[in-house]
Amino acid sequence: MTLAVFFGCTFIAFGPAFSLFIFTIARDPLRIIILIAGAFFWLVSLLLSSLIWFIAVKASNPQDEQLQKGLLIFGVMFSVLLQEAFRFLYYKLLRKAIEGLVALSEDGCSPISIQQMAYVAGVGFGLMSGAFSMINLLADSLGPGTVGIHGDSQLYFLTSAFMTMVLIFLHTFWGILFFHGCEHRRWWEIAAVVIMHLTVSGLSFCNPLYVGSLVPSYLLMVGAAAWAYLLSGGSAQNLRRFLLCLRSGASPQPGS
């Protein structure tokens, strides 16, 4: 049973993201480099926020529960802001990289667009975030022990897997929105990404009322996906053609 939980939660959390990697990133060495670098930037932001959290906890009174709760909320919000700050730094680095690629290319064009970089960087952020969110839970799922034996929810591993999946997708969409905002100097788009990130992180405090965190997070994911799709040049007509499995140059048949 523990193996079934382990593999089931692994495939739920990382299966869709792994598919994105295989079909859209793995064949291009440049995209793989951008993904790994994005994961590294997220990792550095986690390291710095963990350091601040460690110092704050050590400098506070561990017996004061109210203070510890306040430090926990502060740690989560500070970590989110630091992640978005490093996303901005990564955008600036990629912008410089594009200028270098254009200078080196024979035709004066970059082999990868800023929109593609935003997508790949978002996947990198999401995969590393998901790995740190889920790796310890997956190790615990192998046993020994039984979830919920003392009356707690038995859906802990399952809901954690679904939450990890939505966070990976959200980071992907946030990357597209954030880079678009930086590229066109639409600071309200950047602010919207930060607010959504803070909201999703704050919803985790609703646990163990998992409906209170999962449902709003998935609704935000749908909204962010639609927004990112439109900013990337998508349209309702293209979406309809995709759903009807039609080629871009074909017209719908009568009765379709």
Q: What is the pLDDT of residues 93-142, one digit of tens each?
A: 998 888 877 776 666 677 788 889 999 999 999 999 999 988 888 887 77
Radius of gyration for the chain, computed over Cα atoms and rounded to the nearest angstrom: 21
151 or 51, which is more confident: 51
Task: Determine the average pLDDT of the residues in 192-209.
Answer: 89
Q: Is the pLDDT of residue 166 over 90?
A: yes
Task: Give the angle 225-174-19 at the CA atoms, nearest 5°.
Answer: 65
Give me 13's structure tokens.
């959390």
User: Longest Cα pair distance anywhere in the chain, in angstroms?
Assistant: 72
Residue 71 pLDDT grade (very low, low, confident, very high; cuts 50, 70, 90): confident
CA dihedral 54, 59, 64, 70 (to 10 degrees): -50
Quote the pLDDT of residue 246. 53
Q: Is the pLDDT of residue 145 over 90?
A: no
**Euclidean distance between CA atoms 133 and 68, whole angstroms:** 21
Give me 205's structure tokens.
């405090």
Quote the pLDDT of residue 152. 65
- Say how many C-beta atoms besides its own lie within 10 A of residue 123's C-beta: 25
Residue 253 pLDDT grade (very low, low, confident, very high; cuts 50, 70, 90): very low
Quote the pLDDT of residue 106. 66
Look at the alpha carbons of 14, 17, 19, 25 in this order and tell me if their dihedral is positive or negative.
Answer: negative
This model's pTM is above 0.85:
yes
